[in-house]
Amino acid sequence: MMIVAMIRPGMLLQGRYRVVSQIGGGGFGKVFEVDDGGTSKVLKVLSLERFHNPTIKQKAITLFQREAELLGRLRHSGIPRVDSDAYFTWSDGNNAEPLHCLVMEKIPGSNLQQWLQARGNQPLTTEQAHEWLIKLVEILKVLHQHQYLHRDIKLPNIMLRPDGQLVLIDFGGVREVTNSYLEKELGKQTGTVLVSPGFTPPEQAEGHAVPQSDFFALGRTFVCLLTGKSPLDFLTNLQTGQLIWRDQATSVSPQLINLIDRLIAPFPGQRPQNCQEILNYLQGNQHEFPLSEDESETLPPDTLPPDTGFVVSTSGLNRSLSNTFPSQQKSDKQLVEKPKKTQDKIYKKYQGKIFMTGCLVLLSGGITIWTMAPRLAYKINNFGYTEYSNKSFDLAETSYKLALLLNPKLSEPDYNLGLLYEDKNNLVQARTMYQKAVEKRDDKAYNNLARLQIFNKQYTTAVTLLREGLSIAEDNQVKYAMWKNLGWAYLELGRYPEAKNSLQKAININGDRAAAYCLLGKVLEKQNNRQEALSVWKKCLSSQSKTIEEKQWVHEAAKKIKEI
Report the pLDDT averaged over residues 406-433.
88
> Does residue 168 belong to any structural domain of this protein?
yes
Looking at the fold, whether 91 and 207 belong to one and the same domain comes out as no
- Count of residues for the chain? 564
**Strands of the sheet with 166-168, listed across from one edge:** 110-111, 158-160, 166-168
Looking at the fold, whether 237 and 168 belong to one and the same domain comes out as yes
Looking at the fold, whether 124 and 58 belong to one and the same domain comes out as no
Question: E strands along 27-77, which residues?
Answer: 29-36, 39-46
- Annotated catalytic residue: which of 83, 152, 442, 512? 152
Candidate from 122-126, 362-366, 545-549 with smallest mean pLDDT: 362-366
Does pLDDT of 204 surpass 80? yes
Looking at the fold, whether 379 and 325 belong to one and the same domain comes out as yes
Looking at the fold, whether 130 and 244 belong to one and the same domain comes out as yes
- Average model confidence (pLDDT) across the chain: 78
For residue 89, the domain's CATH number is 3.30.200.20
Does pLDDT of 356 surpass 70? no
Contact (CB, 8 A) for 102 and 43: yes
Determine the structural domain holding residue 284 and report its residue range.
110-288
Tens digit of each residue's pLDDT (9 = 90 or more) over 136-172: 999 999 988 887 888 889 999 999 999 999 999 875 4
Decide which of 253, 288, 323 is a domain's last residue.
288
> Does residue 450 belong to any structural domain of this protein?
no
Band the pLDDT of 180: cuts 50, 70, 90: very low
Nearest Cα neighbor of 223 from 210, 213, 232, 211 is 232
Residues 186-209 as b/e (b if ≥16 CB within 10 A, e otherwise) read eeeebbeebebebbbbebbeebbb
Q: Rounded to 5, what percent of the chain is helix, strand, coil?
A: 55, 10, 35
Band the pLDDT of 203: cuts 50, 70, 90: confident
Half-sphere exposure for 281 (CA within 13 Å, toward CB): 21
Q: Which one of 387-391, 407-411, 486-490 scores highest in mean pLDDT?
A: 486-490
Band the pLDDT of 490: cuts 50, 70, 90: very high
Report the pLDDT averaged over residues 187-191.
40
Looking at the fold, whether 395 and 431 belong to one and the same domain comes out as yes
Candidate from 60-69, 150-159, 197-206, 423-432 with smallest mean pLDDT: 60-69
> Does residue 494 belong to any structural domain of this protein?
no
> Does residue 140 belong to any structural domain of this protein?
yes
For residue 270, the domain's CATH number is 1.10.510.10
Looking at the fold, whether 89 and 173 belong to one and the same domain comes out as no
Looking at the fold, whether 97 and 119 belong to one and the same domain comes out as no
Give the SS3 label for residue 245.
coil
Total domain count, the chain: 3
Does pLDDT of 83 surpass 90? no
Tens digit of each residue's pLDDT (9 = 90 or more) over 274-305: 999 999 889 875 544 444 333 322 223 332 33
Is residue 92 annotated as a catalytic residue, yes or no?
no
Looking at the fold, whether 358 and 283 belong to one and the same domain comes out as no
Decide which of 52, 74, 105 is a domain's last residue.
105
Tens digit of each residue's pLDDT (9 = 90 or more) over 394-403: 888 999 999 8
Report the pLDDT averaged over residues 64-84.
84
Looking at the fold, whether 239 and 120 belong to one and the same domain comes out as yes
Decide which of 105, 122, 152 is a domain's last residue.
105
> Does residue 63 belong to any structural domain of this protein?
yes
Instruction: Provide the pLDDT for residue 405.
Output: 87
Instruction: Provide the pLDDT for residue 189.
Output: 41
Looking at the fold, whether 197 and 327 belong to one and the same domain comes out as no
Band the pLDDT of 465: cuts 50, 70, 90: very high
Looking at the fold, whether 316 and 427 belong to one and the same domain comes out as yes
For residue 339, the domain's CATH number is 1.25.40.10
